[in-house]
């Protein structure tokens, strides 16, 4: 296919928001235990955190980290995970049918975040606890000193408050799999009360109310409307969650997953604005897309039902990603960037081992999955403002999403630099792309990287950790204000311009 793209620094969407590059750490499988935390590992620091993982997280360039769940949070008592470690109880985690040792809790995790230079986004258990435990956690975490719980935090070894700004009011409360799931009406009421009380303690908190667990949920749309009718005045964000995978060998549809994400965002924005208008409110609710990724969910559902034992940190959701998965992840991130006007926070789910860009072996190495690369390169190169691209591309027919463009793109522009991100969804042919960059004022290609492989199912594994890495794209040439580049079939590309 041939595609033409026009980029102009007059056509801006919104600033590039660092929170778009958030991620997610859940107490699930080996994300925490033997993932980021493994006392006795050759790279472990005094806290037991693996410094090889810290180095990869820094390279990934993730910003906020959502914690500690996920479905896990709906059965969690935060008090279990602070104070002397030897006194912390072992509990059953019903969400993932596993044992939780509570050896890592808020105070340890906050120290880990400092190592990775990330911001904490904390979820409270709205599902099975209540307003007071949420307020207690807020006092423990954020109050400076001189109250029972802030002094307890200090006694536990954390003198400075954590000063957590973003808080999630539960997780996926629309999902029947959620411990304590609710109707939209019930959840809206409890979320509104919890949010109002938390803002009595600190009016500047940024609160995220649960939206739908996916655009395919039967309650999608009505859920957002009802929940926001209750909570609109008290919250700042509504969440979206979306996972994609190739189904029935339909790679074409899978590669167009970003069109569903676009539809999801459009619908939630329209619903939120509708509720806002009905309330005659000038306030806008933004989207926290706080779970998104490729996940082989179908395979997981089949194996999860077989889980009978109660084990600590079992291998769960350890998906090994392909080149095609990385192209989709890169494309989803492009979509989030392109919607930076209303998606002002997002979290790749998750960070280590569990559907994650980083994998580890206990006592062994840590390595980058294929999906690591588009995320880390986009996080490194995107800066300044997001540019709304005008894309002229041939389309193809998908079984799942109808017509989709073969070439998709987004760009960012800063004072002295710009970056263009592209995918070619064609299964067989390279795309010849011309990009008019006169309106960006760029004059040369500083860097061009493409992720592609003749085997679109190639993966990085323990035995072959760098089987798939991005390579320089030497076809990228900028002359007379026109950037030309060839994109291999099923590929993701980033081009940095100066």
Catalytic residue positions, numbered: 172, 291
Q: Token match 């089949």: residue? A: 302
CA 493/CA 437 separation, integer angstroms: 16
Q: Of 476, 447, 470, give the one whose Cα is nearest residue 458.
A: 470
User: Whole-number minimum distance, CB 213 to ligand AHR, in Å?
Assistant: 6
288 binds ligand AHR (CB under 6 A): no
C-alpha 184/C-alpha 169 separation (Å) is 13
Count CB-CB contacts under 10 A for residue 447.
Answer: 16
What is the number of alpha carbons within 13 Å of residue 281 lying toward its C-beta? 18
Binding letters toward ligand AHR, positions 120-159, x by CB under 6 A: ----------------------------------------
Q: Which residues of 402-415 are buried (b: 16+ CB within 10 A; e: fewer)?
A: eebbbbbbbbbbee
Our CB check for ligand AHR shows the closer of 69 and 389 to be 69
Q: Which one of residues 246, 291, 325, 385 is an interface residue with ligand AHR (CB under 6 A)?
A: 291
- Smallest distance from the beta carbon of 212 to ligand AHR, in angstroms? 11
Q: Is 350 in the site for ligand AHR (CB under 6 A)?
A: yes
Q: Is 290 in the site for ligand AHR (CB under 6 A)?
A: no
x-or-dash string of contact with ligand AHR, 207-246, rule CB under 6 A = ------x---------------------------------
Site string for ligand AHR, 185-214 (x = CB under 6 A): ----------------------------x-
Q: Which residue has the tokens 């590309």?
A: 493
Q: How far is the CB of 270 from ligand AHR (least distance, A)?
A: 24
φ, ψ at 228 (rounded to 5°): -75, -30
φ, ψ at 206 (rounded to 5°): -110, 115
Count of residues in the chain: 498
In the block, which residue shows the tokens 């492989």?
A: 453
In this structure, are strands 119-124 and 64-67 parallel, antiparallel, or unpaired?
parallel
Q: Are 414 and 440 in contact (CB under 8 A)?
A: no
| Interaction pattern, residues 401-440, with ligand AHR; x per rule: CB under 6 A | ----------------------------------------
Q: Residue 289's closest CA among 64, 54, 58, 56?
A: 64
Structure-token pair, residue 399: 């079984």
Rule CB under 6 A: say whether 38 interacts with ligand AHR.
no
Q: 349 or 413: whose CB is closer to ligand AHR?
A: 349
Residue 70 engages ligand AHR in binding (rule: CB under 6 A): yes
Q: How far is the CB of 344 from ligand AHR (least distance, A)?
A: 20
Stretches 50-58, 66-74, 198-206, 489-497: which one binds ligand AHR (CB under 6 A)?
Answer: 66-74
Q: Determine, following the binding rule CB under 6 A, whether residue 319 of this chain makes contact with ligand AHR.
A: no
Nearer to ligand AHR, 48 or 214 (CB): 214
Structure tokens at 381: 């190169």
Cβ proximity to ligand AHR, 171 vs 360, nearer residue: 171
Under 8 Å between Cβ of 448 and 473: yes
- Helix %, strand %, coil % for the chain, to 5? 30, 30, 45
Q: Which of 63, 150, 171, 412 binds ligand AHR (CB under 6 A)?
A: 171
Number of shown-chain residues binding ligand AHR (CB under 6 A):
10
CA dihedral 40, 43, 49, 53 (to 10 degrees): -130
Binding residues for ligand AHR restricted to 3-32, rule: CB under 6 A? 26
CB of 216 to ligand AHR, least distance (A): 13
Binder of ligand AHR out of 23, 34, 64, 71 (CB under 6 A): 71
**Contact yes or no for 234/199 (Cβ under 8 A):** yes
Nearest residue to ligand AHR, scored by beta-carbon proximity: 70
Instruction: Tell me the three state secondary structure of residue 267.
Output: helix
Residues in contact with ligand AHR by the rule CB under 6 A = 26, 69-71, 171-172, 213, 291, 349-350
């Amino acid at each position: 296919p041939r595609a033409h793209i026009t980029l102009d620094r007059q056509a801006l969407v919104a600033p590039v928001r660092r929170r778009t590059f958030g991620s997610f750490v859940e107490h699930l499988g080996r994300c925490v235990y033997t993932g980021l935390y493994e006392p006795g590992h050759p790279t472990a620091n005094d806290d037991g955190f693996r410094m090889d993982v810290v180095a990869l997280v820094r390279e990934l360039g993730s910003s906020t980290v959502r914690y500690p769940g996920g479905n896990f949070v709906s059965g969690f008592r935060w008090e279990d995970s602070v104070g002397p470690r030897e006194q912390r109880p072992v509990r059953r985690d019903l969400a993932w049918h596993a044992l939780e040792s509570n050896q890592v809790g808020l105070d340890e995790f906050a120290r880990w975040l400092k190592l990775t230079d990330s911001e904490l986004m904390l979820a409270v258990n709205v599902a099975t606890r209540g307003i007071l435990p949420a307020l207690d956690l807020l006092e423990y975490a954020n109050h400076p000193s001189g109250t029972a719980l802030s002094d307890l935090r200090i006694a536990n070894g954390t003198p400075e408050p954590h000063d957590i700004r973003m808080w999630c009011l539960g997780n996926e409360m629309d999902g029947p799999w959620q411990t304590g799931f609710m109707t939209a009406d019930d959840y809206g009421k409890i979320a509104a009360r919890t949010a109002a009380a938390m803002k009595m303690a600190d009016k500047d908190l940024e609160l995220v109310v649960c939206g739908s667990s996916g655009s395919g949920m039967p309650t999608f749309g009505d859920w957002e409307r009802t929940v926001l009718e209750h909570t609109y005045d008290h919250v700042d964000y509504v969440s979206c969650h979306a996972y994609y995978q190739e189904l029935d060998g339909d790679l074409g549809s899978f590669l167009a997953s970003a069109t569903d994400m676009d539809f999801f965002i459009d619908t939630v924005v329209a619903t939120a604005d509708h509720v806002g208008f009905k309330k005659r409110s000038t306030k806008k609710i933004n989207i926290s897309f706080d779970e998104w990724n490729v996940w082989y969910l179908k395979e997981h559902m089949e194996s999860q039902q077989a889980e009978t034992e109660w084990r600590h940190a079992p291998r769960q959701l350890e998906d090994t990603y392909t080149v095609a998965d990385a192209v989709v992840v890169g494309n989803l991130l492009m979509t989030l960037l392109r919607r930076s006007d209303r998606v002002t926070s997002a979290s790749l789910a998750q960070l280590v081992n569990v559907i994650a860009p980083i994998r580890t072996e206990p006592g062994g190495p840590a390595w980058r999955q294929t999906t690591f690369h588009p995320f880390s390169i986009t996080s490194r190169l995107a800066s300044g403002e997001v540019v709304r691209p005008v894309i002229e591309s041939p389309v193809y027919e998908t079984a799942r999403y109808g017509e989709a463009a073969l070439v998709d793109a987004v760009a960012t522009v800063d004072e002295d630099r710009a970056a263009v991100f592209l995918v070619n969804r064609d299964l067989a042919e390279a795309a010849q792309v011309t990009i008019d960059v006169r309106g960006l004022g760029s004059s040369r290609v500083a860097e061009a990287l493409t992720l592609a492989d003749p085997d679109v199912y190639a993966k990085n594994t323990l035995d072959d950790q760098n089987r798939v890495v991005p390579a320089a794209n030497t076809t990228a040439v900028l002359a007379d204000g026109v950037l030309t580049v060839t994109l291999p079939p099923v590929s993701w590309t980033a081009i940095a311009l100066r």
